[in-house]
Structure 1
């Protein structure tokens, strides 16, 4: 197999993972049909509301994308900077803006991975061995984890149809 073929195959696999292919739920399915009144509700025994999960997904995805793009990305403090300060969105527009930003950053990460000029395996000079492929897989894994939490939360809130 030629190196170009290997690169194309790796790129396709990482893109499939980012697109929630194979075993992962996609973002749109996870948030579709969630009633606005439930966005700030925490189910008993679970630590986060749908709003907190959405914002955490958005913030983390942006952090990973910014890290991939530049050594000058703003460093966030764990956990304070990675979670919203309240359980409920301040208004319906905040939810919509967060979801739109998530979509835009997801597309930007896809674009970075899809670009044949991106060396997926070259360590980022400002990192400690991380590569674009590693960060993209980390992002896909992180998103899958929290989207699964969102589905479980929606089930407990009576807002998920398994059909």
Structure 2
């Protein structure tokens, strides 16, 4: 387990991002509520829609890693919001809190002494915890770049 400790620490760090780009947390602080539903320059999604997708996918993978009786949601319908923006500030706050809480649960799972990175997830013999954590990190990183593009198009960020 000592060799795995360093890898777990690295994965935990990358789960929160920011090694080579703005973190999701930093981007969330840059977007005003009234800009969440804007689809700038004919982009097919808003900041809200992308963030919802990041959260939903993260939650789905967390469920996949922790539930024996996991059932996959329908793709793509359930992975994307049916609305362009939140109905109100309370809904937006709840979504952000859900994202932070689920990310923390993933961190706890990574750092758990009971969970080995090469352990199979309980719902499948095909995939390991390591693979699923990498998937969350890659997916979040990919869409974080898209969030940044939206911030730039809205004039809310320049490098």
On whether the aligned pair clears a TM of 0.5, the verdict is: yes
Instruction: Look up the match of 2:48.
Output: 51
**Per-residue deviation, residues 116-163 of structure 1 (Å, max 9, x unmatched):** 11111122242252111111110011111111110111100112243x
Please give the alpha-carbon distance, in whole angstroms, between the structure 1 residues aligned to 2:156 and 2:22. Answer: 16
Instruction: Determine whether 1:102 maps to 2:95.
Output: no
Name structure 2 gaps, 5 residues minimum.
none
**Match 2:121 to one of 117, 120, 124:** 124
**Match 1:112 to one of 100, 109, 114:** 109
Please give the alpha-carbon distance, in whole angstroms, between the structure 2 residues aligned to 1:134 and 1:25. Answer: 24
Instruction: Determine whether 1:153 maps to 2:137.
Output: no
RMSD: 1.4
Instruction: Determine whether 1:77 maps to 2:70.
Output: no
Runs (4+) off by over 4 Å: none
Give the 3-state SS of the residue equivalent to 1:116 in structure 2.
Answer: coil
Deviation at 1:21, TM superposition (A): 4.7
Please give the alpha-carbon distance, in whole angstroms, between the structure 1 residues aligned to 2:43 and 2:25. Answer: 22
Contact kept in structure 2, 1:61 and 1:105, CA below 8 Å: yes
Contact kept in structure 2, 1:65 and 1:105, CA below 8 Å: yes
Contact kept in structure 2, 1:17 and 1:137, CA below 8 Å: no
Please give the alpha-carbon distance, in whole angstroms, between the structure 2 residues aligned to 1:125 and 1:63. Answer: 14
